[in-house]
Structure 1
Amino acid sequence: MTLVAAEGIAVRQGRLRVLQDVTLHIRPGEIVTIVGPNGSGKSTLLRALIGAVPLAAGRVMRRPGLRIGYVPQKLHIDPTLPITVRRFLDLPHPVEDTHACAALEEAGASGLEGRQMAALSGGQFQRVLLARAILPEPDLLILDEPTQGLDQPGASAFYRRLEAIRDRLGCAVLMVSHDLHVVMSASDRVICLNGHICCEGTPAVVSAAPAWRELFGTGTQGALALYRHRHDHTDHAAHHHSPLSEGA
């Protein structure tokens, strides 16, 4: 069963081609991470999958009734706006206190209910966003660089929480990340994006793909071996895709 699938999608911003001929699918229960250099279209791809940007070509199919939780890369809250964490969780629809407290606990943000959103640290803010995203018990949890600004121990702890949430809900997790070391231990599948999909597969397979080495070099090989994922015994050949210039 596929939760969301993209077939040959393209996205343009004016004359700039941001994405070209992107095809992918997300299945229940898997953790999929999108990696790529700055400007490679990672955030745009997430927004295309949820229908937030228009497509220049292709189509996106979502399972009927699909519940999506979304953690954006950035969310600016006016520091003069008096809104507590608890009130923030009531947007756009009120939730029961028991559900709000349970979501905060699962996201690692217990005890922050009465704090002002503008007074939270970066890590606390991200955990509150995660709590809000899991309140509807999504089928698909999408996160755009959720550990931006966190140190490596903090990022590792965040990824462990995502795995626990996935295990409890049975949801899929689709995220963008720059944490190449940690992400290899937390992902079932990795998609390497640079305007098009360069390669995809399990972490061990993708890290050996020529397209990965062209983008990220070979300096992380030891770390990738160290963080070998428990699912890597099912490795299959990485899928290689045509360069963007060939899809023009």
Structure 2
Amino acid sequence: MSLVQVEDLSVRYGARTVLSRVSLRVEPGEIVTIVGPNGSGKTSLLRAIIGAVKPLKGRVVQGSGVKIGYVPQKLHIDETLPITVSRFLKLLGGVAVADIDHALAQAGVPDLAAAQLSQLSGGQFQRVLLARALIGKPDLLLLDEATQGLDQRGSASFYQQIETVRQNTGCAVLMISHELHVVMSASDRVICLNGHVCCEGTPAVVASAPEYRALFGPGTGGALALYRHEHDHHHDHGDHNHDHTEAAE
């Protein structure tokens, strides 16, 4: 049984439809990556899955008893706030010290419990957010551009940790990533999104699909194309404003 199924999902903000009839599923233990240009609705899709966005149409169905852990794109913390990593993770409520230590070890930062949150590097903070998502022992991890702002080495290390987590826990992963070389080497399936599902399948199948190449070119490591499909051009007006809105969600 699928961990989560998205069925014919549409999401609208005001007069703008950002997702139209999107369907997907995530099976136990697999890594699925969503790619697409800015403003394509990737973050909105994850937020709909966790219930933070109400669909205009369609539905999200979770398997019975499925637990989801969410690692956001960003989490703004007051840098002057004197709080340790351990105390930050205890804010979840009902969390034992042993659970915190185990989650930090799973995230690859076992020695950070006593560190001040404000003193962490960007990579360390993302590992703490990963630990926060792992405390509940999720069946499915959702990652929204979790390596944004990290350098190439930091990103590679983070994704290696995600693979280690999958191997050790058996959890599935649904993530958004702009790092196409990582997507093509680390994913079981790729979904190309541009307001709708353009194409999906194994990395090899998606990389050769005309829809994918129209967005990203023939290579997998180049910069993102900013244009849309011909049939998406009528949505271009206002894209800049929506990109700003989605990033702030």
TM-score range, shorter chain: 0.7 to 0.9
Q: Report the counterpart of residue 36 of structure 1 in structure 2.
A: 36
Q: Normalising by structure 1, what TM-score?
A: 0.87
The one-letter code matched in structure 1 to 2:151 is: D
Q: Distance in 2 between matches of 1:106 and 1:191?
A: 27
Letter of the 1:180 partner, please give it.
Answer: L
Cα shift at 1:244: 6.2
In structure 2, C-alpha distance between the alignment counterparts of 1:83 and 1:66, rounded to whole Å: 31
Aligned pair count? 226
Q: Which letter does structure 2 place at the counterpart of 1:172?
A: A
User: Aligned-pair RMSD on alpha carbons?
Assistant: 1.7
Amino acid at match of 1:206: V
Alignment match, 1:157? 157
What TM-score does the superposition give when structure 2 sets the normalisation length? 0.87
2:193 corresponds in structure 1 to: 193
Equivalence for 1:208: 208
> Does the CA-based 8 Å contact 1:20-1:244 persist in structure 2?
no
Residues 101-159 of structure 1 deviation map (CA, whole Å, 9 limit, x = unaligned): 12112212121112221221110100000011111110111010011112222212211
Q: Which runs of 5+ in 1 are unaligned?
A: 223-242
Amino acid at match of 1:195: G
Gaps of 5+ in 2: 223-230, 234-249
**In structure 2, what is the equivalent of residue 54 of structure 1?**
54
C-alpha distance after superposition, 1:79-98 (max 9, x if no partner) = 12221100111122132222
Which AA in structure 1 matches 2:207? S
CA distance in 1, matches of 2:164, 2:6: 27
| Separation of aligned partners in 1, 2:105 and 2:171 | 18
8 Å contact 1:196–1:244 — kept in the other structure?
no
| Structure-2 change in CA distance of 1:116 and 1:221 (3 Å) | closer
8 Å contact from structure 1 (residues 11, 57) kept in 2 = yes
SS in 2 for 1:109: coil
CA distance in 2: counterparts of 1:99 and 1:72, whole angstroms: 21
Please tell me whether the aligned partners of residues 11 and 19 of structure 1 are also in contact (alpha carbons under 8 angstroms): yes
Off by >3 Å, runs of 4+ in structure 1: none
Instruction: Output the CA distance in 2 between the equivalents of 1:102 and 1:9.
Output: 36
Task: State the Cα distance separating 1:214 from its structure 2 match.
Answer: 0.3
Q: CA deviation at 1:20?
A: 0.3
How far off is 1:220 after superposition?
A: 2.9
Preserved contact between residue 180 and residue 221 of structure 2 (Cα < 8 Å): no
In 2, Cα distance between equivalents of 1:25 and 1:140: 12
Matched with 2:113 is 113
